[in-house]
Amino acid sequence: MLTNLQDFFPLDARLLDAAQEAERTCREDFAQIEETAAYNGAKVLAAFQKSRVSEPCLSGTTGYGYGDQGREVLDRVVAETFGTEDALMRHNFVSGTHALSVALFGILRTGDTMVSLTGRPYDTLEGVIGLTGDEKSGSLKNFGVHYQEVPLCADGTPDYDAVPEAVRGAKVAYIQRSRGYSLRPALTTDQIARLVKQVRSTNPDAVIMVDNCYGEFVETREPVQVGCDLMIGSMIKNVGGGIARTGGYIAGKETLVQQCAERLTCIGMGKEVGCTLDMNREMYLGFFHAPDTTANALKTADFAAALFSGFGFSCYPEVGQKRGDIVEAIQLGDEAKLTAFCRGIQQGSPVDAFVTPEAWDMPGYTSKVIMAAGAFTMGASIELSADAPIRDPFAVWMQGGITYHSGKIGILLAAQKLLDEGLISL
């Protein structure tokens, strides 16, 4: 019973009544989420078995890492799960942006053109491309790579009709699946498949690359299974299952993955080097847990949408809309509500619950950002977290929840904080 939460947390009884109604609203969505998790869990288990994962795979190596069985088998597990020719999953990737940067620099050469099909990419990638920074920063622009983008339509969806002409002669057609700091809907695999068809209609040789952060295991298919050549993500999001402490992956066509590997290490060595230290076990275990952990994050997001829409806030996506990622955007309207929400999420965290988040000038971002994340792994946005730039439309982007029950408590404490400060009424 939700009322039992009052044994541990100062939650208003009226808020608990609203929470029960929100869960009833989510019942049908929750059933679909569980069904998807069951399918993806079976897919991962089969990939482990087919790849012959064994006890020695869980141990690491030092030095150059020659002949690292665990590293090599893990790549096979990832490739088998995602239905690709090859994969590169490494703890050496420090973030999703790093993995994306490695992929872009691995594929693009001087004189090539990159076209973003989903408008302006996420803030942290702007410096990599050369949209910000100076002429000596070492960006793609500094190396003579040309950049274009296809603006999104007014409703936040891709401008499919503009894609064929935009990608003529382009080397890379780039897709960002998640929304970044925008209110546009995340892309589903069906939408990505439609973009692939549009690209291939005029440029069959383009490398279609997808930033898949926050999108893995949300559906039963991944972008590489609908015609994309490469997809990239972070291990402290969905695919790490809340267990991997760092890392990222690149998966897709073998020749392209090899080019990326030689950018991560060096030409001529590629995937054959790189010790795994003591990281293998948590990378395997995190990937194994990923489908269920992603399901918990989706249920937490759906509950947040149901609860906060009941308070009159606009939520993206709404309950019942098909999701392309684990992120829930809630348009709170002003800085006071946004700050209170983040502080409530922080109070619901297992780590650093006593900390008060403040907005600050975070590296890689153009506005002050407030972040709430009391996580076992710093910055792990598969664990319940919320962040927002201090700018219009004063929306907060919330993601994660390694267990649904703890995620639900975090959402309730965020609502309670708003209630305590007189920013919402029941």
- Is residue 269 located within the same domain as residue 307? no
pLDDT above 90 for 218: yes
How would DSSP label each residue in 290-339?
HHHHHHHHHHHHHHHHHHHHHTT-EEESPTTSPPSSS-EEEE--SHHHHH
Q: How many domains is the chain partitioned into structurally?
A: 2
Query: What is the CATH classification number for the domain harbouring 329?
Result: 3.90.1150.60
Measured from the Cβ of residue 266, the count of other Cβ atoms closer than 10 Å reads: 10
Q: Is residue 147 domain-resident?
A: yes
Q: Is residue 425 domain-resident?
A: no
- Is residue 60 located within the same domain as residue 186? yes
Cis peptide before 164 (omega within 30 of 0): no
Instruction: For residue range 26-49, list pLDDT tens digits in order.
Output: 999 999 999 999 999 999 999 999
pLDDT above 60 for 1: no
Which residue type occupies 11? L
Instruction: For residue range 181-204, list pLDDT tens digits in order.
Output: 888 999 999 999 999 999 999 999
Q: Residue 3: which pLDDT band, with cuts at 50, 70 and 90?
A: low
Query: What is the CATH classification number for the domain harbouring 257?
Result: 3.40.640.10
* Residue 197 backbone dihedrals phi, psi, to 5 degrees: -60, -40
pLDDT above 90 for 260: yes
Q: Is residue 175 domain-resident?
A: yes
- Is residue 381 located within the same domain as residue 249? no
pLDDT for 2 equals 67
How would DSSP label each residue in 62-75?
-TT-TT-HHHHHHH
H or E element that contains 14: helix 13-50
- Is residue 306 located within the same domain as residue 157? no
Dihedral, 53, 58, 62, 68 alpha carbons, nearest 10: 0
- Is residue 394 located within the same domain as residue 273? no
Cα–Cα distance measured from residue 141 to residue 127, given in angstroms and rounded to the nearest whole number? 9
Measured from the Cβ of residue 32, the count of other Cβ atoms closer than 10 Å reads: 14
The arithmetic mean of pLDDT across residues 373-399, rounded, is 92
How would DSSP label each residue in 210-234?
EE-TTTTTSSSS-GGGGT-SEEEEE
- Is residue 90 located within the same domain as residue 165? yes
Q: At what angle do helices 13-50 and 280-310 cross, to 10 degrees?
A: 150
Percent share of the chain, pLDDT over 70: 99
Model confidence, pTM = 0.95
Cα–Cα distance measured from residue 338 to residue 331, given in angstroms and rounded to the nearest whole number? 8
Of 244, 272, 287, the domain-final residue: 287
Residue pair 22/306 in contact by the 8 Å Cβ criterion: yes
Cα–Cα distance measured from residue 76 to residue 24, given in angstroms and rounded to the nearest whole number? 41
401: containing domain: 2-42+292-420
Cα–Cα distance measured from residue 244 to residue 345, given in angstroms and rounded to the nearest whole number? 22
Which residue type occupies 272? E
- Is residue 131 located within the same domain as residue 251? yes
pLDDT for 364 equals 63
- Is residue 104 located within the same domain as residue 25? no
Which among 246, 238, 194 has a CA at the least distance from the CA of 212?
A: 238
- Is residue 386 located within the same domain as residue 413? yes
Sign of CA dihedral 12, 13, 18, 20: positive
Which among 344, 354, 356 has a CA at the least distance from the CA of 412?
A: 344
Which among 107, 130, 123, 254 has a CA at the least distance from the CA of 176?
A: 123
Cα–Cα distance measured from residue 246 to residue 13, given in angstroms and rounded to the nearest whole number? 40
Mean pLDDT is lowest, of 83-87, 122-126, 275-279, for 122-126
pLDDT for 367 equals 80
Of 247, 270, 287, the domain-final residue: 287
pLDDT for 180 equals 81
Which among 115, 116, 138, 113 has a CA at the least distance from the CA of 128?
A: 138
Instruction: For residue range 38-91, list pLDDT tens digits in order.
Output: 999 999 999 999 999 999 999 999 999 999 999 999 999 999 999 999 999 999
**CA-to-CA separations, 231 to 104, 136, 176, in angstroms, rounded:** 11, 29, 10
pLDDT for 361 equals 86
Q: What is the chain's mean pLDDT, rounded?
A: 95
Residue pair 381/239 in contact by the 8 Å Cβ criterion: no
Bridge pairing between strands 385-389 and 395-399: antiparallel
Instruction: For residue range 137-184, list pLDDT tens digits in order.
Output: 899 999 999 999 999 999 999 999 999 999 999 999 999 999 888 889
Cα–Cα distance measured from residue 97 to residue 338, given in angstroms and rounded to the nearest whole number? 25
- Is residue 213 located within the same domain as residue 346? no
pLDDT for 134 equals 80
The arithmetic mean of pLDDT across residues 283-300, rounded, is 98
Of 239, 268, 287, the domain-final residue: 287
Q: Is residue 227 domain-resident?
A: yes
- Is residue 283 located within the same domain as residue 332? no
- Is residue 153 located within the same domain as residue 21? no
Which among 155, 164, 70, 167 has a CA at the least distance from the CA of 116?
A: 167
Q: Is residue 200 domain-resident?
A: yes
Q: Is residue 259 domain-resident?
A: yes
Q: Is residue 426 domain-resident?
A: no
